[in-house]
Amino acid sequence: MTQWRLREQGDSALTLELGRSIDDALVERVHAVAQAIVKAIAQDSRLREVSDVVCGFATVSVHFDPLLTDVSSLSTALHELACSTGSQPMQGRTWRLPLCMDERLAPDVQHLCEHAGLSAFEVGERLQALRLRVCMIGFMPGFAYMSGVPQTLAMPRLAVPRKAVAARSVAIAGSMCGVYPFESPGGWNLIGRTPVLMFDPRRPQPSLLAAADTVCWQLVGLEEYGLLEQRWASGKVDCEELLETQV
């Protein structure tokens, strides 16, 4: 856990490789290091020209202005941070997001039930009990890769991706869950839809989710889904409403 490598990505980014696999402990270490780097940007002049800190599953990448950056002192700073940072990140926010599994919105639900050997009701119960962890955001603006889908529900991605997946489709591939923020091609299994705008450029924080957040699903029926969708389209929803309140 205290091993790492620093690699160049051309002359405009450095990647701290903290591992080469996908596992929970490594993801936590990635988040801890990323948070330490973000904090250091404001305090350490060697990181002054860093524009972005991006988590991968096992890496943290730092993007910078190649003209203005002293790469060797930036590298030294990153090594120091990797060394001094532990493996426990600050926890992000916990969200409770509505999910509708009606087959008309989710073409792969039937397939999921068959794969799991469970009824739709049972699958719904399992999904509601999950606490998914946001590993990283990528692929599209606001697309969160969330780990924590149990073996029973884990399905391989489609052999042939769909050319068009509806916006806000909730999908599973292996042990990962994700939400397509916009209509796009997609190879994951579509098991539901959410009315929540996962990415809205008008918000101060355009992406709803961030690395280290936790997501829980709240099942809703088709009618309630429709009403929620209208509320979201009208812009009358505050994202704060979706935060899980402390009990």
Q: How many C-beta atoms lie closer than 10 Å to residue 247's C-beta?
A: 3
**Position 158 contacts another protein (CB under 8 A):** no
Contact 178, 140 (CB under 8 A): no
> What is the identity of the amino acid at 6?
L
The single residue among 1, 25, 45, 66 that binds another protein, judged by CB under 8 A, is 66
**C-alpha of 24 from chain center:** 14
- Residues 128 and 44: their CA atoms lie apart, in Å, by 43
Chain residues 6-35 in contact with another protein, contact rule CB under 8 A = 7-13, 15, 17, 19-22
Question: By C-beta, is 54 or 130 nearer to another protein?
Answer: 54
Binding segment toward another protein, per CB under 8 A, in 79-87, 96-104, 131-139, 155-163: 131-139
Least Å distance between CB 203 and another protein? Answer: 10
Contact 148, 130 (CB under 8 A): yes
3-state secondary structure of 166: coil
Binding segment toward another protein, per CB under 8 A, in 5-13, 84-92, 115-123, 149-157: 5-13
**Position 174 contacts another protein (CB under 8 A):** no
Contact 16, 2 (CB under 8 A): no
**Position 89 contacts another protein (CB under 8 A):** no
**Position 242 contacts another protein (CB under 8 A):** no
Contact 219, 99 (CB under 8 A): yes
Length reported for the chain: 247
Residues in contact with another protein by CB under 8 A are 7-13, 15, 17, 19-22, 51-59, 61, 63, 66-67, 71, 136-143, 145, 181-182, 184, 199, 201-202, 205-207, 210-211
